[in-house]
Chain A
Amino acid sequence: MATYVQIDPTQKLDPFKAVKKLPLEEFFTSGHRTCQGCESALVMKMMAKAAGPRTIVLGSTGCMYVANTTYYSTSWVVPWMHTQLGSSGSAALGTAAALKALMRKGKMKREPINVIAFCGDGGGADMGVGAISATLTHPDYNCLILMYDNESYANTDIQLSGSTPWGAHTTFSTPGKVKRIMHRRWKKNMAGMMAAGHPECKYVATICMSYGLAGMNAIRKALTIGGPTFIHSLDPCPKGWDYDPYQSHEMGELAVNTGVWPLYEVEKGVLRLMGRTQQIAAGKIPRQPVRDYLLRQGRFAHFTNDDIDYFQSKVDEMWQKWLVPGVIPFRKEVEADTAPE
């Protein structure tokens, strides 16, 4: 059969075997001004380490732009360029297209160069979702879009995004005397949507850098597999979630262990639950109650027991009622859902 996709070779990035076998070189290093306990900065560091030196990084507006790159200083060892809030998809596509054209036409030395565009949840799940979606339909361009999801517009003072969990206290959803729950939207299922909606996209994964090796290997696989790929990283944020900065790592673990954040990859259409999520789904370990996760964070401090029960019921639905548990919210039967009054 004829081949219609014209893809350039990618770098072959084998999985890292163990933390102690990681290369020592850093491509995202000192010079940034992120908060103490910032998990997203760790994602940047590990993303750059996983990708290696022959990489171009595009960063859309957000914490990882403003805090990492202040004129006259930069934490990026690899080439880096700012892109607009909703433009991570377009930045990845444009850069990849330029490399492809210039190399084909003999205007640039041929070599596989990684192209990674990152965005926050505001830039990705809200404003940039259209451009990311479009990019994932272009099979000819090698690029990765990584969404670091700290569940709010954290750089602009913690405003809610389409990726903020139900009920969370943000500066746009402050609990008040009459309305306790101002944010009544359930978190957008971004990775599931990207995987289900883009059949030609060869790799979509969810990661959490509390499980750093797995996260880095997902990035390496996404860059090696070819074509446009998407990774959604859940990043605990001490400022936005309101907990002590030293707990970031643990907060990520809790998100996974409570089933709030399922870890999975969809490789060429094949779904694999990963790590602890796989064990939960297989019944090897129990799902921890969401109460353990929610009550550790100031953003849920206004929750009543009813609110926690509602949150738990929605997470239970993800696991018990979704046709593809934790991933795709299709169901077998119609039933009514009601939020507590």
Chain B
Amino acid sequence: MAPVATAVEEQRKTEETALITGSEAIAVACKLADVDVITAYPIRPYDTVMQYVSKLVANGELDCEYIVAEGEHSQFEIVKHASAAGARVFCGSSGVGWMYAMEALTVTPALRIPMVAMVGNRALDDPGAFGVEHNDALTVRDLGWQLVWVDTAQEALDTALIAYRVAEDRRVFLPCAISCDGAFLTHSQALVKIPTQEKVNEFLPRYNRGDLLLHPDNPITVAPQGNEDWVMEIRRQNYAAMERASDVLREAYADFERIFGRSYGNPFFEEYETADADVVLMGMGTLSTPVKVAIRKMRKEGKKVGFVRMRWFRPFAAQALAKSLGRFEAIGVVDRDYSFGSPYMSGVLTNEVRSALYSAPGPKPPVVGFIAGLGGREVTVPDVERITEGVYKAAEGKPQPLTQWIGLRE
């Protein structure tokens, strides 16, 4: 047998491939990670992950305490406390459900709880909308949550395993939210390679709460009143943990590649067709699909357009990003979110990119902000082409509005 065929055969023996959605992929990761306590509460679109978890538990494939809570606040508080008592936990929500849990979301990183949560990104009420917007997950960006946006079901599964490894690393001990665009990823099926349990065990050590374990053998007092005496020092410890998270993430991605044989390259952002690009577009999540299609079309027309997909929003790889973006003549950042009253009225990602560039050495190409695809509205290939036109104008030095709404009914 030819060597290639042997390798494929070998892979078939060890790796199963399944046609599953992004939500199902994360449920599979929970099974592989042998999660101990999972709490559910219904809200679309994230809840599909819990429907799948429920099946795994019922079929004996996942041994965990599976608790249906009476609201998101309790949902997140239950797993927070389970993690403090040493359990590996999983949780999730969407849109206003995530907001309802906000108090719990605030104390989780402050308590150094390594929770992994899935956010099925959804527009915030009102008016009601099931579709994707990124404002839900972004509300915790300042609190110590690690935030990652994934693009495919495969990336969702892989990132969930990486998230457990990084969140539960004693150097970090911070929660991680995996953002999956509502519908576009949560409900879309794709072929996903399911890693073997042996490889996952090799990659992901057991959660060890260590000297922070709440147990009669370790009778500690957790989170007493700090006040002006100590709160600042405690905040600084969280700052240091987030600072360390970047290196721990890099280690985890390197180990992931070594053990599973799949590479994500730069863990923090993905670059597409940037090698010779004049201008680049930026965005997060499944926006990459129409953007990549449009880029292939535009490149046939001779336009050298590239794409940078931000994967990790927290920690934010400011230096590496600024260094990369400095190569281009102009940057168009597409936000699937809003930040009313922010500098230049731009979206959250746009202003983070501007901020990263401002303090970096080297060239600072113009950054044009675009707001698109809110409430689950599709971002089309013509939308992307229109965005690119604006970016090219900025590259030519023609003044552009710093924030433009795309695909808006006028």
Contacts and interface: CB of A to CB of B under 8 A. Distances in A.
Given A90-B77, A130-B70, A138-B67, A76 B219 contact: yes
Interface string B205-216: 010000000111
Contact of A113 (B64, B216, B225, B230): B216
Interface in B203-235: 206, 214-216, 218-227, 229-230
B65 interface: yes
Contacts of A255: none
A56 B85 contact: yes
Interface residues of A, number: 46
Given A113-B215, A133-B70, 15 more contacts: A58-B81, A71-B230, A72-B229, A79-B221, A82-B222, A86-B73, A87-B73, A87-B104, A91-B77, A94-B79, A97-B87, A98-B87, A130-B74, A131-B71, A131-B74
A105 B36 CA distance: 9
A98 to B, nearest CB: 4
B371 interface: no
A102 B79 CA distance: 13
B209 to A, nearest CB: 10
A96 to B, nearest CB: 9
B78 interface: yes
Contact of B81 (A54, A70, A95): A95
A89 B74 contact: yes
A83 B82 CA distance: 12
A234 to B, nearest CB: 26
Contact residues of A: prevailing secondary structure = mixed
29 contacts: A56-B214, A56-B215, A66-B225, A69-B221, A71-B227, A73-B224, A74-B224, A79-B220, A81-B223, A83-B77, A86-B73, A87-B77, A89-B74, A90-B78, A91-B81, A94-B37, A94-B79, A94-B81, A95-B82, A95-B84, A98-B82, A101-B63, A101-B64, A101-B82, A105-B36, A130-B70, A131-B71, A131-B77, A133-B70
A98 B85 contact: yes
Contacts of B39: 94
B42 interface: no
Which of the listed residues A73, A95, A99, A130 has the most CB atoms from chain B within 10 Å of its own CB? A95
A271 interface: no
Nearest to B78: A94
B36 A79 contact: no
Interface residues of B, number: 43
B67 A93 contact: yes
A58 to B, nearest CB: 7
Given A82-B224, A107-B206, A53 B216 contact: yes
B225 A101 contact: no
A300 interface: no
A53 B103 CA distance: 31
Given A69-B221, A76-B221, A79-B215, A98 B73 contact: no
Nearest to B67: A97
B83 interface: yes
Closest 6 CB pairs of A and B: A94-B81, A69-B224, A90-B77, A98-B85, A98-B87, A74-B221
A80 B219 CA distance: 7
Contacts of B71: 130-131
Contacts of B241: none
B84 A108 contact: no
A272 interface: no
B360 interface: no
Contact of A71 (B74, B82, B206, B229): B229
